[in-house]
Amino acid sequence: MREFAALYWRLDSTTSTTDKLEALADYFRAAADDDAVCALRLLSGGRQSRGVSTALLRAWASEAAGIPLWLLEECYAQVGDLAETLALVLPRGGAVSAADGCGLAAWIRETIEPLREADDDRKKELVHDAWRRLGPDERIVWHKLLTGGCRVGVSRTLVAKALAEVAGIDAAVMTHRLMGGVETAEDYRRLFSPETTESGSQRPYPFFLASALDEPAEALGPVTEWQAEWKWDGARVQIVRRGGGCSVWTRGEELANESFPEILAAAAALPDGSVLDGELLAVRAGALLGFAALSRRIGRRRATKKVLADIPCVFVAYDLLEASGQDLRGLPLAERRRRLETLGLPTFPTADATLQLSPRLDADAWGDLAAARATARDRGVEGLMLKRRASVYGTGRTRGDWWKWKIEPLEIDAVLLYAQAGHGRRAGLHSDYTLGVWHEGRLVTIAKAYSGLTDAEIVEVDRIVRATTLERHGPVRICSPTLVFQLAFEGVSRSTRHKAGVAVRFPRIVRWRRDKQPTDANSLGDLVALIDAAAPSGAAS
Amino acid sequence: MADLLELTPEGLYCRQGDFHVDPWRRVPRAIVTHAHADHARPGCDRYLCAARGKLVLRERIGGAAPIDTLRFGESISINGVQVSLHSAGHVLGSAQVRIEHAGVTWVVTGDYKLQSDPTCDPFEHVEADVFVTESTFGLPIYRWAEPETVANAINAWWRENQAAGRTSVVLAYALGKAQRIAALVDPSIGPIVAHGAVMKMVRTYRDSGVRLPSIDAVPPRARRVGDGRALVIAPPSVAGSSWLRLFGEARVAPASGWMTVRGIRRRRGCERGFVLSDHADFPGLLTAIEASRARRVLVTHGASDSLARLLQERGLDAAPLATRFTGEPPPDDGGPAEESGEETDPDATVGEAA
């Protein structure tokens, strides 16, 4: 436990990838196999099932600290991290950790797993016992294990790199070996086996990324040199169909097979030795559900029946990177596209087809494409993609051949009504804002926004929030309306779940309108007019 | 019976004695607890402070306005009101103001700490009917380690950096914290170098009779200072500024009570922070309040709402008092960092109002 806590703090104290890599490699070099299995699970975001509620932990910690519960909540608002708050208020234990010599796996077995079966009295005993055995910094890490998450800003890729370094093998091979999970010490030892057979066989290609178009499309030259497609509001993936198997890889190079079983099943019908680049879309009854819905699927390791039924997904292909086992990335897009079309996938939208073809938007003039782009919001897409027909499939984000031509966001001016202290870097600063617009002489809340201001502005807004607080409800402050923000969002629709009767999509603050008074802000009527102006239809066609 | 102090637009005012305590506007007669900018403002006609703090106050407010002084514990009568000053242990010359009239005693603590500090007099517990206390770190998460423990940590970090050929830069308020750190660390490790704003106060401390180890100033128009062996003490405003380039490869760590909270450390982007404060921690505040035996407690700047509520629950007549004292503002609470060079006026440095 001590070693894992030390790793946690080493990772936490640096932003340098090299330092993190070194810390991880040091840890895995020294760790026992079963401890390493636990550490891997925790580092890759795996959660320990919760054996005790945070309500009980708060109650016991405030009791041990001799402070009322409300004061602990005040502390939480300042600290922005419950695990840390609990550790900071608890009486300081013995300076030397007694967890010494007890490995992570044993520690979890002894102090966390028994909590699940225990009654509250026994839980309290176990928790107090653990507090006695841990130093303050170790308590924070233990609280994090107890309450679920232990995220410390390391990507799976970084963990894979560190393990690859320890094993002395290629990082991509290690990434592949890590796929499917490491459940036992035996799985863990297999990561370090010298044989490399079959490894890499399901590996995707590095994704080629587009840049945002920041000049008029006409500047790109003749429209005939460009292939235009819809810019989907989905998740970029590659489908790898090789050696009798299939894999769905996200852009974060994570295997998403278990989240998208229906895609995987359909991909089995593709000819062996092919790799498709495209987008996962959430579609129900012909209507695009958008990224928010899709993220509920991505967020799950394993898709449940309910989620599969609620959020059906399709894959639309827009590039072919490999066919008959041949790497096609060096061919011009026009040729890759020709070969992609020979696979015989139906063009999106087609009912009851899981794998579909993303349509080309052929045009004779930029004006035609501009007109198509103007319909993007109605179709539930983000705009257009422009890809040079002669371009090869590159690596990473190389400017010049692939452009995102997104639609302009909708915007209104809204008034700050509530503010809440943020977490992590923003702990103690009121940085989560609830904004409102006018309706019948009153301000009604329409959106929460967490981003868009600079750090200096957040500090300034925090000060104003404190100075204009009318009421406090725990960490939330109700302010007298003085600040106006320009709010951008991707769409607006009617909603019965929101008090104002409308829901905005992906709201974010564009700028602080210091030049405007609250009375200058928009009204609910203005927002509703935006819905009527862009009545949502169904899928793009 | 009228209160001995009331809140006016100028600040805390004693009507019976016709004087202000730490006023934030120009007034005829100001009693100043200590020389930090949120308590001591230039422009008053006449000042009164502790004798130990006279040079420091003069350095801060400048000008020629007369500064009267009292030794700690010495009492005078101002318009029939008995006034005495008692050490607050915050910085050199920092005082609590005891005000007595018609059998009623008020004490205004100013900023204070109970921890030991080789650069100033120790805190004195003073009894009062009404105790006006600060509450900068008035939440139970704030509990300080012994200064020696922090000093050891700074020494170890300094040695570690030295071994790697890196300069160690500690960020500390130019008045008080900087001198305290200079006095706490082990000068045998290597040279101690001070930023101009810090150096100015080092001289004033020495002139006031405080013993400090040998400290080097940064030479004017220097292009490169030291060889990675030094401990540099500089005000927080130099964070992220080009001034730091003088030292080549350097590690920067703020020393502040706020460094308790990981989120604040991370926001500052510092790999390291030392929890060292010139304010009382939560147990320290409760100790001072209890020792005052006051039945009524007014809580100023900091966690005033929650500390007042806690005291109420413990049976005291307690309330927050809305002053313009800022205590030690969180390190990133001072707006954008300014360029801070040799010529910078210490009063102009950001976040200096401790």
pLDDT given for residue A522 in this prediction: 93
Smallest Cα distance from B87 to chain A, Å: 29
**pLDDT per residue as tens digits for the range B29-80:** 999 999 998 899 999 999 999 999 999 999 999 988 999 999 999 999 999 9
Provide the pLDDT for residue B325.
74
Contacts with A471 from chain B: Cβ below 8 Å = none
* E-assigned strand segments in A71-156: none
Chain A residue closest in CA terms to B282 = A89
CB A393 within 8 A of CB A383: no
Contact status of B268 with chain A (Cβ, < 8 Å):
no
Of A88, A425, A463, the CB nearest to B266: A425
Cβ-defined contact of B140 to A68 (cutoff 8 Å): no
- Give pLDDT tens digits along chain A (541 positions): 889 999 998 888 777 888 999 999 999 999 999 999 999 988 877 666 678 889 999 999 999 999 999 999 999 988 888 999 999 999 986 545 555 678 899 988 888 888 888 899 999 999 998 998 888 888 999 998 888 777 777 877 789 899 999 998 877 678 767 765 678 888 898 888 776 444 346 778 878 889 989 889 999 999 999 999 999 989 999 999 988 889 998 887 678 888 899 999 999 999 999 999 999 999 988 888 877 778 778 766 677 888 888 899 999 999 999 999 898 989 999 999 999 999 999 999 998 899 999 999 989 999 999 999 999 888 888 899 999 999 999 866 778 899 999 988 889 999 999 999 887 777 778 889 999 999 988 999 999 998 788 888 998 999 899 888 888 877 789 999 999 999 998 778 777 777 888 888 889 999 999 888 899 999 999 988 887 665 444 333 3
B315 has a chain A CB within 8 A of its CB: no
Strands B250-254 and B167-171, how do they pair?
parallel
| DSSP states of B247-300 | GSSEEEEEBSGGGGSHHHHHHHT-S--B---SS--HHHHHHHHHHHT-SEEEEE
Q: Is B260 in contact with A428 (Cβ distance < 8 A)?
A: no
Q: Is B324 on the interface with A (CB under 8 A)?
A: no
CB contact under 8 A, B306 and A71: yes
**Long-range contacts for B210-216 (Cβ within 8 Å, ≥24 apart)?**
B210/B92, B210/B119, B210/B120, B210/B179, B210/B183, B211/B118, B211/B183, B212/B119, B212/B179, B212/B182, B212/B183, B213/B182, B213/B183, B213/B187, B214/B187, B215/B182, B216/B191, B216/B192
**How far apart are the C-alpha atoms of A319 and A402, rounded to whole Å?**
13
Q: Which of B144, B262, B323, B338 should one mutate to test binding to chain A, selecting the residue with the greatest count of A CBs within 10 A?
A: B262
Q: Give the single-character DSSP code of A422.
A: B
Q: Is B249 on the interface with A (CB under 8 A)?
A: no
Judge whether A435 and A417 are in contact, CB under 8 Å: yes
Q: How many residues would you count in chain A? A: 541
Please tell me the distance in Å from A424's CA to the nearest CA on chain B: 5
The pLDDT of residue B329 is 61
Distance CA A434, CA A438 (A): 14
Backbone angles phi, psi at B34, to 5 degrees: -165, 170
- Output the pLDDT for position A201: 62
A&B contacts, CB < 8 Å:
72
Collapsing DSSP to helix, strand or coil, A313 comes out as: strand
Model pLDDT, residue A51:
83
Partners of residue A226 on adjacent β-strands = A388
pLDDT for res A539: 39
Q: What is the pLDDT of residue A538?
A: 39
Mean pLDDT of successive 10-residue segments in chain B (354 residues)?
Answer: 88 96 95 94 95 95 93 97 97 97 96 96 97 95 96 96 94 96 97 95 96 91 82 92 88 93 79 92 97 96 89 94 70 34 31 34
Residue in A387, A92, A440, A71 with CA at minimum distance from that of residue B286: A71
B310 contacts A460? CB cut-off 8 A: no
B266/A459 CB distance under 8 A: no
Q: Which residue of B has its CA nearest to A474?
A: B306
Task: State residue A43's pLDDT score.
Answer: 87
Residue of B261, B268, B301 to mutate when probing chain A, most A C-beta within 10 A: B261
Strand, coil or helix: what is A158? helix
Which of A8, A78, A79, A86 to probe the B interface (max B CBs under 10 A)? Answer: A78
| B 117-156 residues with CB < 8 A to A | 139-141, 143
